[in-house]
Amino acid sequence: MKHAFITGITGQDGSYLTEFLLEKDYKVHGLIRRSSSPNTSRISHLLDDPRWKERLFLHEGDLGDSSNLLRIVEEASPDEIYNLAAMSHVKVSFQVPEYTGNIGALGTIRLLEIIRAQFPKARFYQASTSELFGKVFETPQTELTPFHPRSPYGVAKLYAYWACINYREAYDLYACNGILFNHESPRRGETFVPRKISLAVSRIKMGLQEELVLGNLDAKRDWGYARDFIEGMWLMLQQPKADDYLLATGKTTSVRRFVELAFQYIGIEIEWQGKGIDEVGIDRKSGKTLVRVSTEFFRPAEVDILLGNASKAKSMLGWIPQTSVENLVQIMVEADLKKCKSTAST
Ligand code: NAP
Ligand code: GDD
């Protein structure tokens, strides 16, 4: 039986990856931060499932503290390590740049040092990101496109990206970067734009919210479904040789279009009026304003467009994403509507 160690097990990707690995017969160890209130909502269904009692273990610790990390990795004795922990919100990283670097950049080195010294045969996955491309040099982006990060988050991830390659080259570790484009799900944090939209649209439908207030409507992202991306992470660690791979859907969509699709799903057609921060999205039928813009959600530096070419992952790993952005919107709004209905009835 293989042992996996996951940092960031309580996050969106950590929860799907844990499900995936348990189904593949792994023993899964996860790093969990001490919190004054429960932070296991995304994995509580797994913790409560008697099938996984002997195969799922949580260890309290922090990627900022190498003393406890060493003990925990020794307890997990992993064959595979997935480093998913990070302060992952790009806008927030401008407010907490030092902390973002400590966890995203130095946290990765802390783990790599433990692997180098104690578990040189373990396989390592680093959660790299399309934010590395930032102010893009070319579209679509590939594994060969130069980087130009645009936030403290992106800069921290750049350090981690090169740390991963450096340890592979210097110490012959099996260490891979997964350069993942935006991937979403009903488990996505509520302040990332797709989830903010799906939740607001559901609450507006249920009469629980009046308006949705957003930042830059023109930003474009290559949005995929988180479940599709998890298998790609795992596949990267099953190859004869370590390498770096980009995972993306190959289609880009603006925030504005994502909003239109989400409202369409509840039967509302959005008409845009005005310009800049005075732009509003109106329900074409009732004339009611449902979407507004606020500078509160603008970033000091923006990533205007991301669009990935995942040909390498397709040909080398056989990885092909299954979910279109239209399906993704449907999955997310449906789940949030269900959630809002059950909250309203309790
Ligand atoms: P997420 O939902 O924000 O989860 C982040 C995880 O990291 C949470 O479990 C969080 O714990 C944990 N964490 C944060 N700081 C920590 C610390 N100091 N010590 C230990 N754990 C810590 O992120 P995600 O969407 O699942 O993404 C997973 C990884 O992929 C992240 O590194 C992200 O930057 C990267 N990535 C994500 C995307 C995407 O579109 N989702 C794309 C490219 C790359 P708490 O639950 O306690 O907060
Ligand atoms: N969060 C947020 N909130 N973003 C908004 C809003 C808003 O109200 N309005 C417009 N946006 C725009 C942002 O300016 C950005 O251009 C785009 O929507 C996407 O924002 P997020 O959903 O916050 O994601 P992100 O692209 O910045 O970062 C996510 O994807 C990266 C991969 O490209 C995160 O998951 C990162 O951790 C990940 O690396």
Indicate if ligand 1 lies below 6 Å from the C-beta of 111.
no
What is the C-alpha separation between 127 and 73, in angstroms, rounded? 18
The position carrying tokens 């919107």 is: 329
10 CB under 6 A from ligand 1?
yes
pLDDT in tens, 35-55: 999 999 999 999 999 999 999
Quick check: 345 pLDDT over 80? no
Q: Determine which residue's CA is closest to atom 21 belonging to ligand 2.
A: 192
Among protein residues, the one with the nearest Cα to ligand 2's atom 19 is 193
Most distant CA atoms of the chain, gap in Å? 65
The per-residue pLDDT for range 174-203, each reduced to its tens digit, is 999 999 999 999 999 999 999 999 999 999
Question: Could you tell me whether strands 270-273 and 212-214 are parallel, antiparallel, or unpaired per DSSP bridges?
Answer: unpaired
Q: Is the CB of 90 under 6 A from ligand 1?
A: no
| pLDDT greater than 80 at residue 11 | yes
The pLDDT mean for the chain works out to 97
Crossing angle for the helix pair 325-344 and 255-265, to the nearest 10 degrees: 50
- Catalytically annotated residues: 129, 131, 153
What span, in angstroms and rounded, lies between the C-alpha atoms of 168 and 173?
4
Q: Are 251 and 189 in contact (CB under 8 A)?
A: no
Measured between its terminal Cα atoms, the distance across the chain in Å is 43
Residue among 56, 73, 68, 61 nearest 17 (CA): 56
Q: What is the whole-number distance in angstroms between the Cα of residue 78 and the centre of ligand 2?
A: 33
Tell me how far the alpha carbon of residue 192 lies from the centroid of ligand 2, in angstroms. 6
In this structure, the number of other CB atoms found within 10 A of the CB of residue 335 comes to 17
Residue list, ligand 2 pocket, CB within 6 Å: 88, 90-91, 129-131, 181-182, 191-193, 196, 214-216, 219, 221, 255, 297, 299, 302-303, 306
**Could you check whether the bond before residue 300 is cis, i.e. omega within 30 degrees of 0?**
no
pLDDT digits (tens, 9 = 90+) for 116-147: 999 999 999 999 999 999 999 999 999 999 99
For residue 131, which atom of ligand 2 is closest to its CA?
33
Angle at 15 (CA atoms; ends 29, 149), nearest 5 degrees: 100
Q: How far is the C-alpha of 196 from the C-alpha of 322, rounded, in Å?
A: 23
- Is the entire prediction scored with pTM above 0.85? yes
| Index of the ligand 1 atom closest to the CA of residue 187 | 2
In angstroms, what is the span from residue 8 Cα to ligand 2's centroid?
Answer: 19
Per residue in 195-249, pLDDT (tens digit) is 999 999 999 999 999 999 999 999 999 999 999 999 999 999 999 999 999 999 9
* CB of 129 closer than 8 Å to CB of 179: yes
Tell me what the mean pLDDT of segment 146-168 comes to.
98
Q: Counting atoms of ligand 2 from 1, which one is nearest the CA of 219?
A: 16
CB of 129 shorter than 6 A to ligand 1: yes
Beta-carbon count within 10 A of 216 CB: 18
